Structure 1
């Protein structure tokens, strides 16, 4: 499938609306995420590798907030456990429609891939099946802060022994100087990837009321409170990180 360059915020907007995962975003999302999130391709591919370690035969693997299905595709490439199924979930109709197209294209390129069910649903309302792997790749940060504990507790209850939750998030930092430095470095990353000052400013305005990052310590405490036994950071690039939470 052809991919468009992200130019959504390239022209001055009289009033910048809150960020929404609509058709406009879905159309440019691969370019947007690659140019906005340091280490994104590495995170995605290695979620597949990690899933290969934790996936159990005859179990469900969840990709929550699947967007266009990049993590789902990685799961299908790397998981060799027998009779697993991926359930990819997103609440954006535009993302779900395009995700299905991307997965159909993957089916045409590879044989013997894991079966996938792409579901348009709210992950807060999902009835979770027993599962060995749950991936939340930059998804929890868009869930209301007060709803995060119960969601993680429900995921923990659904996880099978030996399984794992892989949680990737943008981080904020308690130390003001550390926060300022990593924010500046992230802006440099965006500039190096071709975003203008106008695009950076307007995207920040669009997303600041929608995405609420937590600190690494907050993530750790919340996961432990939800019943996870151990939280292991496995990746960080600037202010973006990914964690393994074990049941």
Structure 2
């Protein structure tokens, strides 16, 4: 996997454009996500562990918003259920192309992995197959708020009994002091990982019109409205969290 450091926002920009998952981001994405999202490696590895508890024979395991396929690789490392297949979907052609390269490399290193299909497409128009595990790993926050409930309803309908949705997101907080504290701590995390004040400020400007986080309570209410019966937070680090939603 690429080791190129993230320097996208290291130089002053006259005008900071909205964040896009283009080829420039793809080249540095592993470094960017690790240095920007507290707990990301733990979430990804344990997504595979969790999925192994819910995966059922003759079903699909979805990685929606798969980017470079880190979750897909984790699913393939941990799930040993018979006749499962992984379907990874992303709407960035640059991400999809690189994801396929990484998965081919994984195939060459390991035997008896789950088959995988990588789709260049929009998850909002996806025709879901019966699924036992669906992962939305830092993806819902990039979808328009008025489309989130509809997507979750379709995910709920695709899940077989005993399956699970695993949803990871950046959180916002209703309590302003709590929100400000965790925001400051997240900035300190990025600073400790080598990002300059300029990089932090420009990245924030680039992403603020693109990524719209919800509160934990908003996620819970929406998931229940979509038809899920139980929502269980299993991980939080600063203002990033992951939930299990049961049908």
**Which of the five TM-score ranges fits, normalised by the shorter chain?**
over 0.9
- The TM-score with structure 1 as length reference comes to 1.00
The number of equivalent residue pairs is 247
Conserved in 1, the CA contact under 8 Å of 2:2 and 2:27?
no
Counterpart residue number, 2:46? 46
Determine the structure 1 residue equivalent to 2:15: 15
For 2:180 and 2:22, the matched residues in 1 are separated by: 31
Q: Secondary structure at the match of 2:111?
A: coil
Q: What secondary structure, in the 3-state scheme, does the structure 2 residue paired with 1:157 have? A: helix
Unaligned residue ranges in structure 2 (runs of 5+)? none
The equivalent residue for 1:67 is 67
1:2 CA displacement: 3.3
4+ runs deviating over 2 angstroms: none
List per-residue Cα deviations over 1:69-115 (Å, max 9, x = no partner). 00000000000110100000000000000000000110011000000
Separation in structure 1 between the aligned mates of residue 33 and residue 59 of structure 2, nearest angstrom: 30
**Secondary structure, aligned partner of 1:118:** strand
Matched, 1:118 2:118: yes
TM-score w.r.t. the length of structure 2 is 1.00
Give the Å deviation of 1:58: 1.1
Residue 186 in structure 1 maps to residue 190 in structure 2? no
Q: Can you list the C-alpha shifts for 1:188-247, whole angstroms capped at 9, x where unaligned?
A: 000000000000000000000000000000000000000000000000000000000000
Contact 2:2 2:28 in 1 (8 A): no
Q: Which residue of the partner structure matches residue 230 of structure 1?
A: 230
Q: Structure 1: give runs of 5+ residues left out of the alignment.
A: none
When the two chains are superposed, the root-mean-square deviation of aligned CA atoms in Å is: 0.4
Moved more, 119-128 or 1-10: 1-10
1:207 is matched with 207
- Tell me, what secondary structure is at the counterpart of 2:123? coil
